[in-house]
Chain A
């Protein structure tokens, strides 16, 4: 039995309503832990005063420089003593999840036992970088909790100016849209950078994210310094049985308004079967006895919309791989940046392919470590120096897929033009 609860009239109102309540969960924990009784006291104070009361500090585990988020209370009385002394320290352990966030119940139950013993009993699945967040432990217990979690085969994630914990989608484990082995890429890449995860020494954070198709369920283009997004080069695959089944359940209006009209490049056409073309870059499939879909794949940008709506009837091609985009991040400091294409397509089938992906990540991080200003993200660095300088340093050839349009201003010195053209021609000749 824990000590008496503080009054929490504000938080009590978050126990009403049908959505699962974190307050009810905290109150359950508070029945046995003075720690959580006082946590509720401090949180209720925040709800009353509209102020936060945690400050950072330096807490870690032996051997690592990061992965713990230290929190010390700043809610003190006139004598400088914590008002809620039992939760004066409330540190979080960031722990890296398995790719795709799969668990068996035995593992989750062990997490619970460890965190009930050493921590508050509050666990978040998951934080915004993908970590399992074990929230709330005293300075003394952080090491004990980590030792037990680490013995289970789990390791701390990133914090501060480090390579951060990554996320990958459910992918090949359950999704038919998967264009590469996301889990393998995630694990192979991240486990190459364990030193940069555990010992923060980069100019600022660096995030990898892995999505298996252009639906980008991991939001990698907006939230990662290096986004690996699955795609394919050959034709969209078709299945006549499933296409006819889809059409039987829907209507011509839906096919026209929801798919034909929504194709971003208008390459998805509805035709009478007798008019359907054939050719090496055309996908076609009958949807009824009279009508068929025809897709000219050379005009298709692999947006996924038709495949999403007619799953099974249409599917990504078989020559699969990924597009790599670099430099995504949110506002601070120079404004939002999307990741932009640095590698239009790379295969990720073999161990050698994976090694190339790791090598690309390694070279980008090395360049970032050498050239970024303090607290500057990769995208901001590229904005400052220009994409071409970045590409040349990484020995990546320019590709027209890297731009939306060629430049719209003449502010460029082009006296190397002839040389560049000669190089391109020589390469073409060598390839022929």
Chain B
């Protein structure tokens, strides 16, 4: 008999200490920074109380990176940025340098290798996104491809700081919305109830769990063709797809009927007004790979109107609060349909309980 294979036990080390990964000037001036400014788009200059200065150069990446790309970024960091980098929450990479004279050569090197420099201040930053067809088990669309197609068109605004305020975008391949709240979000919106493969439900799905997941109690156990399965009250179903992850035989994704919706005005910062959730302003856009032209046009239209009309420092939500929703729909040319009037719990708070009407 063979000896049992000795398995390696994990070292349960948790979150590593970041001190050894910090750029030396950041470690030295930790907690002792005084202010910052932006000498040009894509560059931050931070000044410490000690008088030390550090320049951070921010560049866009494709987030899903091959090792060749990562090594290229490392070569650039070793040559110009003292071997240290960090990533932002929006998958931008930042190179820190301790000499002003290194800024321009670093930017030139990044641009030469195809990494756009920008994403700072009042620009359109990289799109926060998800996995999509590349890796997710429940995606209605792709993520990296949508982002690539849109950023190809928005790269000019990534490299400038000419928007009224910063613009955060996100995309999500299902209504779970892993991409998150944003000034403009693109999210799958299913329009038909799931199609159930009754042969598989009994073996694959824990039926009480699936019943419990439905926000509108539209799913109930049923015998179909002599097998235990589930059925849907289609008059109740609002096609959210919550049943699909716990029960893959309840296929919610549909090449034609899974559409894309656009949401605007999400803001997590407390600056000026309190944080806001985004609101749905358009739906029914086709899921049209590889470059999703209809979605791109819709997003660019909203961004264009916002850029033209908003005052300095108005985020998307601030701008709409000033001009009002009727003017938002008028200016963007988007149709206001009955589907945009909320009827979920708490929805009366979103109705106009006043005579405040702009004529």
* Residues of A near any B CB (own CB < 8 A): 10-11, 13-14, 16-23, 25-26, 28-29, 43, 46-47, 49-56, 61-64, 69, 71, 90, 92, 96-109, 111-112, 115-116, 121-126, 128, 135-136, 143, 146-147, 150-151, 153-156, 166-167, 169-170, 172-176, 178, 181, 183, 186-187, 190-191, 194, 197-198, 214-223, 229, 239, 242, 254, 257-258, 262, 264, 301-305, 308-309, 311-313, 315, 330-336, 338, 374-375
Which interface class (under 10, 10 to 19, 20 to 34, 35 or more) fits B?
Answer: 35 or more
- Chain A residues lying within 8 Å of B39, measured Cβ to Cβ, are none
Does B201 belong to the interface (CB within 8 Å)? no
**Which of B96, B178, B290 is within 8 Å of A10, CB to CB?**
B290
| With contact pairs A96-B15, A170-B86, A334-B215 given, residues A176 and B34 touching in the complex (Cβ less than 8 Å) | yes
- Chain A residues lying within 8 Å of B277, measured Cβ to Cβ, are 222, 336, 338
Which residue of chain B has its CB nearest to the CB of A198? Answer: B12
- Chain B residues lying within 8 Å of A63, measured Cβ to Cβ, are 7, 9-10
| With contact pairs A221-B275, A311-B36, A333-B213 given, residues A304 and B62 touching in the complex (Cβ less than 8 Å) | no
The answer to whether A155 and B61 have CB atoms under 8 Å apart is no
In the assembled complex, the CB of A102 is this many whole angstroms from the nearest CB of chain B, namely: 4
A17–B147 alpha-carbon span in the complex (Å) = 12
**Which residues of B from 254 to 286 have beta carbons under 8 Å from A?**
255, 258, 266, 268-273, 275, 277
- Chain A residues lying within 8 Å of B60, measured Cβ to Cβ, are 19-20
- Chain B residues lying within 8 Å of A100, measured Cβ to Cβ, are 18, 22, 86
Which residue of chain A has its CB nearest to the CB of B158? Answer: A19
- Chain A residues lying within 8 Å of B145, measured Cβ to Cβ, are 11, 14, 23, 47
Does B228 belong to the interface (CB within 8 Å)? no
The answer to whether B34 and A187 have CB atoms under 8 Å apart is no
The answer to whether B12 and A194 have CB atoms under 8 Å apart is yes
**Which of A52, A257, A311 is within 8 Å of B138, CB to CB?**
A52
Of the listed stretches B128-136, B219-227, B323-331, chain A binds B128-136
In the assembled complex, the CB of B131 is this many whole angstroms from the nearest CB of chain A, namely: 8
A190–B17 alpha-carbon span in the complex (Å) = 12
From B14, B87, B93, residue with most partner A Cβ within 10 Å: B14
**Which of A56, A167, A229 is within 8 Å of B137, CB to CB?**
A56
Return the CB mask of B125-156 against A: 1 if under 8 Å, else 0.
00010101111111111101100110111010
Top 7 closest pairs, chain A to chain B, by CB = A312-B35, A17-B152, A25-B66, A98-B18, A46-B133, A50-B255, A214-B270
The answer to whether A14 and B290 have CB atoms under 8 Å apart is yes
The answer to whether A122 and B14 have CB atoms under 8 Å apart is no
